Structure 1
Amino acid sequence: MRQKLFGIDPKETTFVQRGFRPGNVQAQQQLEHIGYTFLQGYHAALADHKPDTLALRLNTIEAEWRGFAFEGAAMGLALLDALTPWQQNRLAKFMAGPGAAHIYMVHVGAGWILARLPWRRPVYLTQLNCRANAQSKIQNAKAIDPLLGWLAIDGYGFHEGYFNWPRSVEQKTIPKKLSGYARRVFDQGLGRSLWFVCGADCSHIPRKISTFDAKRHADLWSGVGLACAYAGGVDPAAIEALKSAAGKYQPHLAQGAAFAAKARQKAGNPTAHTEIACQILCGMGAGAAAEVTDQALENLPPVSSPQIGLEGKQEGAEPAYEIWKQRIQSHFSREMKP
């Protein structure tokens, strides 16, 4: 019954169906398989939400692609939680159990529900704000990670670029009820989607970014760097060209790649394309890039002011997630100086 009601046809992840830019055949096949694997995880969660048995099914998927399956499973679990308010602990149990190794991808996948169920957005952002400010009186706020919880907004941005690119990429439309920092994290996810929308064409992506308001460029480049290093699909020469085109945003591109390296390191699913991307974009291997993200977490200050990101709400100090990113970007900025 769940499959019939909430299932997504695999053809929805094809370039033809999505209207994505056709390009390199190898890249297209890589990116289409990623979408297919995401749906494998999503449908697996709809079929069986119990953490251990779900994980057994997901772990049969080849390691390189497994993170995308866990991402899809998170979307499925978040959907089930949202539709059954009397039992909203499926995703939390998964995160605390077998999903912990893929915690970055799980948070991103959960964010897809913010796109599919609009009424969840203000609820989630309010909970995230309270959690980040050590105020946990709101129901379910404790279940949200005050640092990684922002990745769900990234997932929301990716979804809008992937499924609604004419509106989000061509028309540059930003969800009306997002403001302040939430918009920036949304753009990080939107930047990731450009890797798919533009067919991983490293000459076309910079041109597409240039059509956005300059204030959005940094976060878009960050997302592109993450997608390049995590999803892959291009050769070293293309990555070199992408780095050159990024210009002053090279530290943001590197930060995104470092995030990808850390996600794969934690999950234990390293790939050659992540290593190559980090060597080029970060000037170091994937292991070292992941270590940079760990070092940037040391003595990370807590958020002391509201950062809700809802329309009409006053925002205060930058959230810890942004400080984390800035530290990583600053590290690579220093490394890149001649």
Structure 2
Amino acid sequence: MPTFLGALRSLLLTPKLETVTFARRGFPVAGSTAVEHLEAIPQSVICGFEWGIDARSLWEVERRLETVAPELRGFAYEGATMAFTVRDAMAGGRGRRARELLLGPGRPHIFLTYIGIGFAMARLPRVLWKKVMPELGDTPYHPTMSWLAVDGFGFDRAYFDTRRWVERQHVPKPYPWEGNPDYFLRAVDQGIGRALWFINGALPGRVADAVRKFAPHRQADLWSGVGLAATFAGGCAEQGLAELCAAAGPYHDELALGVVFAVKARTYAGFVPEHTRLAAATLAGLSIDAAVAIADRTAVSPDETGPGGSPAYELWRERIRAHFKKAARAA
């Protein structure tokens, strides 16, 4: 049962489910049959947020989250992480709720819980960002995949401020995430690319057109976000996925990169829906086991860096790209 303060936080901070519907957001999705499927995803995030923002204990939140269908459970964990991050920030950065969640029941969903931190960042002043990422020790994929928090920030801004971030293609001020302000903008674009999948109702032609409207130097990261969303979230039949694959053209390795990360996230959480299997096969020509093998074979250690000092996260991405470039040359 929530406390009075928790109920007040929930009342003031929790968005209503209708605010994330595509009609309410004004997304141009006429003709899409995927709307109901895709809308369930941000609605699951809101449920997780509501449970997290007013809960007395982690146990209570965990029990609620575990009632969510496996396909959507990771998204609910995103929302709970967002709520705990906000609560920790409200405690002057002294809170430990997010850390306890990520080291505990949220551990299998680590890829998505990072994104939940990014959702919180979108609602917190930048001066508080330096305290939003909890210390997770030697947890697998930390801090390498913490760039997904920046991805989550980009997704949030594109979804909720579409006119500015998508139509006007706003470029935010760099931020020294993991000491690398130059890469910050690229990680933001990866999140915007994921959002384009939702904003355009998983309609391949619309998604591809939306990507092409951005400056050429941004399109590679946008395509990787599209590949991740199409594979993890689903919403498109085989023919549409084949059309998306063709539309990516010279950016196919970026699209396939997103596929590999999505499959890795799904398998790490212990549940792979059929639409993920279909997307892996259609967009990247991979079985689930093959995609995981690529991710594991190319994995990096947190202290590695790529060309020009790019973070370990980007080095991992580059190694996956290299796999698909090599395969394309051999074909």
TM-score by length of 1: 0.88
Q: Residues 177 and 52 from structure 1, CA distance in 2 versus in 1: closer, same or farther, beyond 3 angstroms? A: same
One-letter amino acid of the counterpart of residue 335, structure 1: A
1:116 aligns with 2:147: no
One-letter amino acid of the counterpart of residue 144, structure 2: L
Higher relative contact order (CA closer than 8 Å, sequence separation 6+): 1
Q: CA deviation at 1:49?
A: 5.7
SS of alignment partner, residue 232 of structure 1: coil
CA contact (8 A) 1:34 1:68 kept: yes
In 1, the alpha carbon distance for the partners of 2:187 and 2:148 equals: 8
The answer to which of 184-193 and 200-209 deviates more is: 200-209
SS of alignment partner, residue 26 of structure 1: coil
Q: Which residue of structure 2 lines up, in the alignment, with residue 244 of structure 1?
A: 246
CA contact (8 A) 1:257 1:277 kept: yes
SS of alignment partner, residue 61 of structure 1: coil
In 1, the alpha carbon distance for the partners of 2:172 and 2:67 equals: 37
1:35 aligns with 2:42: yes
In 2, the alpha carbon distance for the partners of 1:157 and 1:120 equals: 18
In 2, the alpha carbon distance for the partners of 1:265 and 1:301 equals: 21
In 2, the alpha carbon distance for the partners of 1:192 and 1:228 equals: 8
Q: CA deviation at 1:110?
A: 0.8
Q: Which residue of structure 1 lines up, in the alignment, with residue 4 of structure 2?
A: none
Q: Which residue of structure 1 lines up, in the alignment, with residue 144 of structure 2?
A: 147
1:331 aligns with 2:328: no
CA contact (8 A) 1:78 1:91 kept: yes
Q: Which residue of structure 1 lines up, in the alignment, with residue 163 of structure 2?
A: 166
In 2, the alpha carbon distance for the partners of 1:284 and 1:97 equals: 32
| CA distances 1:27-70 after superposition (whole Å, capped 9, x unpaired) | 10111111111111111111216333211110101111111101
One-letter amino acid of the counterpart of residue 145, structure 2: L
Q: CA deviation at 1:83?
A: 0.7
In 1, the alpha carbon distance for the partners of 2:128 and 2:152 equals: 12
User: After superposition, where does 1:174-185 map in structure 2 within 5 Å?
Assistant: 174-178=171-175, 179-185=181-187
Q: CA deviation at 1:26?
A: 2.9
Question: What residue ranges of structure 1 are gaps of 5+ in the alignment?
Answer: 129-139, 306-314
User: After superposition, where does 1:1-338 map in structure 2 within 5 Å?
Assistant: 1-48=8-55, 50-85=57-92, 87-120=94-127, 123=130, 145-178=142-175, 179-297=181-299, 300=301, 302-303=303-304, 317-337=309-329, 338=331
Q: CA deviation at 1:280?
A: 1.0
Query: How many percent of aligned residue pairs carry the same amino acid?
Result: 36
Q: CA deviation at 1:208?
A: 1.1
Q: CA deviation at 1:301?
A: 6.6
| CA distances 1:179-221 after superposition (whole Å, capped 9, x unpaired) | 5100000000000000111111101111111111111011000
SS of alignment partner, residue 335 of structure 1: helix
CA contact (8 A) 1:108 1:151 kept: yes
Question: What residue ranges of structure 2 are gaps of 5+ in the alignment?
Answer: 1-7, 176-180
**Alignment: residue pair count:** 315
One-letter amino acid of the counterpart of residue 314, structure 2: E
CA contact (8 A) 1:58 1:66 kept: yes
In 1, the alpha carbon distance for the partners of 2:228 and 2:70 equals: 18
CA contact (8 A) 1:192 1:226 kept: yes
Moved over 6 A (4+): none
CA contact (8 A) 2:143 2:302 kept: no
SS of alignment partner, residue 244 of structure 2: helix
In 2, the alpha carbon distance for the partners of 1:269 and 1:89 equals: 28
TM-score by length of 2: 0.90
Q: CA deviation at 1:21?
A: 1.4
CA contact (8 A) 1:303 1:318 kept: no
Q: CA RMSD in A?
A: 2.1
CA contact (8 A) 2:32 2:202 kept: no
Q: Residues 75 and 122 from structure 1, CA distance in 2 versus in 1: closer, same or farther, beyond 3 angstroms? A: closer
In 1, the alpha carbon distance for the partners of 2:232 and 2:93 equals: 36
SS of alignment partner, residue 193 of structure 2: helix
| CA distances 1:259-314 after superposition (whole Å, capped 9, x unpaired) | 1111110111210000000001121112321221111115x472469xxxxxxxxx
CA contact (8 A) 2:174 2:182 kept: no
Q: CA deviation at 1:332?
A: 1.7
| CA distances 1:119-165 after superposition (whole Å, capped 9, x unpaired) | 246525xx98xxxxxxxxxxx66669320111100000000110011
CA contact (8 A) 1:304 1:317 kept: yes
Q: Which residue of structure 2 lines up, in the alignment, with residue 310 of structure 1?
A: none
Q: Residues 73 and 142 from structure 1, CA distance in 2 versus in 1: closer, same or farther, beyond 3 angstroms? A: closer
In 1, the alpha carbon distance for the partners of 2:15 and 2:277 equals: 32
